């Protein structure tokens, strides 16, 4: 009889009025009862804490849905999803909170309602578990627009929210089953106060305090884990790499070599250069060829295919801008800014802007276009510098524009007439330069922007399918100079190369008519290239380079040996030649810190015509 009484006391058997009764217990029984109360309190606190943590995580997913540093990202799908997720988590949390309140109240409940509550929580726990499993392979449509290097990890945070909610629901179900009998009466009651670690407090007070602590830990754990995994010590070390000086002469020793599939995605940047390897961008030291950092294309938004790489120069503070094209109709361009020294993500822009086609530009301005709109971005932050409209009826489907040190130059076409618009970067001023053919009765007139360097821009014109003129525009001094004798060759056309210093402009002109030739103006020194060098996939602005005070090219064909030579023209117009390490193949040149890169286009004809590119670091 006494044993049954003690057992009943341990479990605080209720009296017929439905109120839990506490009786004086022997010392040993009191200790057992205290342990039971503390264990139930711990379980209730775990349940409440995980539910609170789930609500906080769902709220964070909503607040952090926009990628870090992003502009123009379509957030409609992810906003709808995170709001629905937060509402679902809050509803489940409220039901769980009601059950926890009932547990703490110490009252009995009707048979039907107690088991209905258990059934509801079990169903919600099952639903939370199912949603957690679904989240593990959630379709890309909810997260595609916000995936990428600026993603704050909201997919992982959302999964963590539902996992926490599932744990909280399962624990509260276990507590309900432990406390209530099948007939709805309670097996366990709460003492007036619970003594814990020398502190005596009401059970409800301890429950709230413990739940808040557990909730804080649950909410903080995923975010702390994401921040730890996001750290890359190698990037921090690369940021402090020394930057070698630019070479003043074209070296003859091959210091290193590598292969690339696309030489148009090879740019001078940071402490050397950046090149694409097919699945990632790689930054290498210009002096040694050592790998400095890698930006994997898997970090890009899903279904975003890279199509261009742009650099703002070398040294600290320089940037690399990667452009990728989102699949779908219509396709949409996305720009991603990286720190050239460390490869660290800085910003992204999904407003469908397309960058300057030039591979390099100034450090403080990146010109982009979208339809009839022209904008300048700060390549370091992605912030808008200015934005204006151009005359849509007077532009082409693929506009010609470039960025000098002080201005954005836009070539405007209106019917058969052209003009050059010089848009100042620092203010809203626009300088317009009309271009007219030499012959007033010309019916066919075209213009091409062929070179941008420093403050100068070179534009060529042709009339009646023949060369008409070459214009050098100094955007800093607002001066236009028409090069004498240029463009007079019948049937010729002008191709891109390089522009030298602002005091002695240098332009390479390539002609396919006659015997051909590369003319350096105003030096007027002629060298004979291999004609196929024009079509070997090496972009025109890589076919020669200013190395120190000389203009070097690796496209000179030597008829005596049938091999390609390097030609270097100094300011006095003197030309020196030497064998090219590319052998029988034409090559391109790129000056980077520590070396001059020679891009050899290796052509093979068996079993099919194929061009592969080998890059040599000359020192």
Split at pLDDT 50, 70, 90, the class of 275 is: very high
CA distance 154 to 160: 9
Coil, strand, or helix at residue 158? Answer: helix
Res 10: pLDDT: 34
Label residue 501 exposed, middle or buried (CB < 10 Å: 0-12, 13-18, 19+).
middle
Query: Closest Cα to residue 309, out of 264, 250, 373, 364?
Result: 264
Residue 136 lies in a domain: yes
Q: Confirm whether 214 is domain-assigned.
A: yes
99 Cβ neighbours under 8 A, 6+ residues apart? 117, 121, 172, 176
Q: Which of 602, 558, 549, 597 is nearest to 577 (CA)?
A: 558
pLDDT of residue 323 exceeding 80, the answer is yes
Residue 24 is predicted with a pLDDT of 41
Please give the torsion angle defined by the CA atoms of residues 571, 572, 577 and 580, in that order, rounded to the nearest 10 degrees: 10
Question: Looking at the domain assignment, is residue 103 inside a domain?
Answer: yes
With a cut of 90, say whether residue 618 has pLDDT above it. yes
369: confidence class by pLDDT, cuts 50, 70, 90:
confident
Q: What is the mean pLDDT of residues 274-297?
A: 90
Report pLDDT for 128. 61
Residues 450 and 465: their CA atoms lie apart, in Å, by: 17
pLDDT tens track for 175-196: 777 776 666 666 666 666 676 6
244 found inside a domain: no
Phi first, then psi: what are they for 135, rounded to 5°?
A: -60, -35
Contact 585, 529 (CB under 8 A): no
pLDDT band, very low/low/confident/very high, at 427 (cuts 50, 70, 90) = confident
Of all residues in the chain, what percent carry a pLDDT higher than 90? 10
pLDDT at 9: 35
In sequence order, the β-bridge partners of residue 160 are none
Q: Is residue 371 part of a domain?
A: no
Strand residue runs (E) in 219-318: 254-260, 266-270, 272-276, 280-285, 291-296, 304-311, 313-314
Could you tell me if 389 and 374 are in contact, meaning their C-beta atoms sit under 8 angstroms apart? yes
Residue 288 pLDDT > 90: yes
CA–CA–CA angle 330, 336, 340 (5° rounding): 155
Residue 132 pLDDT: 56
Span 26-65, pLDDT tens digits: 444 444 466 777 777 788 888 888 888 889 888 888 888 7
Catalogue the long-range contacts made by 483-490 (C-beta closer than 8 Å, 24 or more residues apart): 483/507, 483/521, 483/522, 484/522, 485/524, 486/460, 486/521, 487/460, 487/461, 487/462, 489/513, 489/514, 490/466
| Tokens read off for 74 | 């379509």
The answer to whether residue 456 scores a pLDDT higher than 90 is: no
| Alpha-carbon distances of 221 from 48, 89, 137, 215, 224, rounded to whole Å | 16, 18, 22, 10, 5
Q: What is the pLDDT of residue 496?
A: 35
Q: Say which range, 18-32, 208-222, 593-607, has the weakest mean pLDDT.
A: 18-32
**Cα–Cα distance for residue pair 154/362, rounded to 1 Å:** 35
| pLDDT score of 300 | 83
Instruction: Decide if pLDDT at 384 tops 50.
Output: yes
Rounded Cα–Cα distance for residues 190 and 571 (Å): 96
With a CB cutoff of 8 Å and minimum separation 6, the contacts of 231 are none
* Residue 276 reports pLDDT greater than 80: yes
User: What is the domain extent for residue 23?
Assistant: 2-231
Interval 56-102: pLDDT, tens = 888 888 888 777 766 766 677 777 778 888 888 888 888 788 777 77
What count of Cα atoms within 13 Å lies in the side-chain half-sphere of residue 123? 8
Q: According to the model, what pLDDT value does residue 114 have?
A: 54
pTM of the model: 0.72
pLDDT-derived band at 257, boundaries 50, 70, 90: very high
HEC-encoded secondary structure of 323-350: EEEECCCCCEEEEEEEECCCCCEEEEEC
pLDDT score for 529: 44
**Residues 6+ away with beta carbon under 8 Å from 306:** 265, 276, 297, 300, 322, 323, 324
Question: Is residue 13 a part of any domain in this protein?
Answer: yes
Is residue 236 situated within a structural domain? no
Q: What is the pLDDT of residues 546-583, one digit of tens each?
A: 888 788 888 777 777 778 888 887 766 677 888 889 88
Q: Is the pLDDT of residue 117 over 70?
A: no
Number of folded domains that form the chain? 1
pLDDT at 312 over 80: yes
Across all residues in the chain, what is the average pLDDT?
Answer: 73
The stretch 240-253 carries a mean pLDDT of 88
Residue 421 in any domain: the answer is: no
pLDDT at residue 613 is higher than 80: yes
d(CA 86, CA 58): 5
């Amino acid at each position: 009889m006494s044993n049954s009484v003690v057992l009943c006391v341990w479990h605080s058997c209720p009296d017929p009025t439905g109120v839990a009764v506490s009786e004086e217990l022997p010392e040993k029984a009191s200790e057992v009862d205290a342990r039971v109360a503390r264990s139930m309190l711990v379980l209730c606190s775990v349940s409440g804490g995980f539910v609170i943590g789930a609500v906080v995580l769902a709220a964070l997913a909503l607040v952090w849905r926009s990628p870090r540093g992003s502009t123009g990202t379509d957030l409609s799908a992810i906003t709808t999803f995170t709001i629905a997720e937060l509402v679902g988590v809050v509803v489940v949390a409220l039901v769980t909170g009601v059950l926890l309140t009932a547990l703490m109240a110490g009252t009995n409940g009707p048979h039907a309602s107690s088991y209905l509550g258990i059934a509801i929580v079990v169903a919600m726990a099952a639903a939370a578990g199912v949603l957690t499993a679904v989240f593990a392979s959630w379709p890309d449509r909810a997260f595609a627009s916000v995936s990428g290097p600026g993603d704050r990890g909201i997919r992982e945070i959302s999964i963590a929210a539902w996992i926490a909610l599932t744990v909280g629901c399962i624990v509260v179900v276990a507590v309900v089953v432990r406390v209530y009998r099948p007939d709805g009466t309670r097996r366990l009651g709460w003492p007036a106060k619970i003594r814990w670690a020398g502190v005596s407090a009401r059970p409800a007070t301890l429950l709230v305090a413990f739940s808040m602590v557990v909730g804080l830990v649950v909410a903080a754990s995923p975010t702390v884990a994401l921040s730890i995994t996001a750290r890359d010590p190698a990037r921090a070390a690369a940021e402090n790499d020394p930057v070698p000086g630019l070479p003043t002469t074209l070296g003859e020793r091959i210091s290193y070599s590598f292969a690339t599939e696309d030489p148009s995605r090879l740019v001078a940047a940071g402490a050397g250069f950046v090149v694409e390897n097919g699945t990632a961008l790689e930054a290498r030291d210009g002096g040694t060829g050592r790998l400095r950092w890698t930006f994997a294309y898997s970090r890009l938004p899903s279904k975003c295919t890279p199509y261009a790489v742009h650099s703002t120069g070398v040294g600290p503070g320089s940037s690399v801008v990667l452009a990728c094209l989102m699949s779908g109709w219509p396709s949409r361009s996305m720009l991603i800014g990286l720190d050239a020294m460390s490869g660290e993500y800085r910003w992204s822009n999904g407003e469908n802007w397309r960058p300057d086609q030039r591979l390099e530009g100034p450090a403080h301005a990146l010109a982009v276009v979208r339809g009839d709109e022209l904008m300048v971005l700060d390549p370091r932050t992605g912030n808008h510098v200015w934005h204006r409209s151009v005359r849509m009826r007077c532009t082409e489907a693929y506009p010609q524009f470039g960025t000098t040190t002080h201005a954005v130059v836009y070539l405007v076409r209106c019917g058969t007439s052209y003009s050059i618009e010089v848009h100042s970067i620092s203010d809203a001023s626009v300088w317009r330069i009309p271009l007219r053919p030499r012959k007033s009765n010309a019916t066919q007139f075209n213009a091409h922007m062929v070179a941008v360097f420093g403050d100068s821009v070179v534009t060529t014109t042709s009339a009646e399918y023949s060369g008409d003129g070459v214009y050098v525009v100094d955007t800093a001094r607002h001066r236009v100079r028409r090069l004498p004798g240029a463009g007079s060759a019948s049937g010729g056309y002008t191709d891109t190369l390089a522009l030298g210093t602002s005091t002695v402009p240098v332009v390479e002109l390539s002609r396919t008519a006659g015997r051909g030739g590369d003319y350096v103006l105003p030096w007027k020194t002629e060298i004979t290239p291999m004609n196929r060098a024009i079509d070997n996939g090496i972009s025109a602005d890589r076919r020669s380079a200013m190395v120190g005070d000389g203009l070097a090219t690796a496209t000179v064909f030597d008829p005596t040996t049938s091999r390609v030579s390097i030609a270097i023209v100094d300011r006095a117009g003197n030309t020196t030649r030497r064998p090219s390490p590319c052998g029988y193949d034409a090559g391109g040149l790129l000056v980077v810190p520590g070396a001059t890169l020679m891009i050899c286009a290796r052509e093979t004809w068996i079993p099919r015509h194929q061009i592969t590119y080998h890059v040599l670091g000359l020192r």
